[in-house]
Amino acid sequence: MKPTHPVETLAEAASLGPTVSANVAVLLRAEALVELCLAVWAYSALGGAWPVFLALFLAPDLSMIGYLVNPRIGARLYNAGHTTLAPAFLALAGFALAIPLLYSLALIWLAHIGFDRFIGYGLKFPQAFAATHLGWKSAPSGFTTPHSQEHP
């Protein structure tokens, strides 16, 4: 079967989105699982309220609203809500200002990021929602990725 969108050069493949080797993908997902587990453990150790955890766990996904405008804005907003930098600075602010609530919020946020990455949702590229730093979550409609092309 002929691919619906043949990739003829490495540069063309790169323009379509990321490719990640299986070994690297396993390592990245293992890191994400560790991040998730440590964030949940630390939240528990700090005496965080589990109803609050459950209520806020999916809050970072509100950043997907940018995809209603276009993929470029969607990717930027999604990445802003799914990089570990923001919750790290939130935790640092909690420490500097002696506000434990900020630690708890940062840990919920980090747990969410770890969970997303563990199940394969990474930072987004503007080409498509499924194009992530972890590779393609799934092939976008009408495209095949270099790794998903069938060989005769």
124's enclosing H/E stretch is strand 124-125
Tens of pLDDT along 62-78?
Answer: 999 999 999 999 999 99
Tens of pLDDT along 82-111?
Answer: 999 999 999 999 999 999 999 999 999 999
d(CA 54, CA 57): 5
Residues near 46 by Cβ (< 8 Å), separated by ≥ 6?
Answer: 100, 103, 104, 107
Residues near 63 by Cβ (< 8 Å), separated by ≥ 6?
Answer: 77, 78, 80, 81, 82
Q: What is the DSSP letter of 123?
A: P
> pLDDT higher for 67 or 7?
67
Separation of first and last alpha carbons in the chain: 7
Residue ranges per structural domain of the chain: 22-134
Residues near 103 by Cβ (< 8 Å), separated by ≥ 6?
Answer: 46, 91, 94, 95
28's enclosing H/E stretch is helix 22-45
Q: What's residue 18's pLDDT?
A: 61
Stated length of the chain: 152
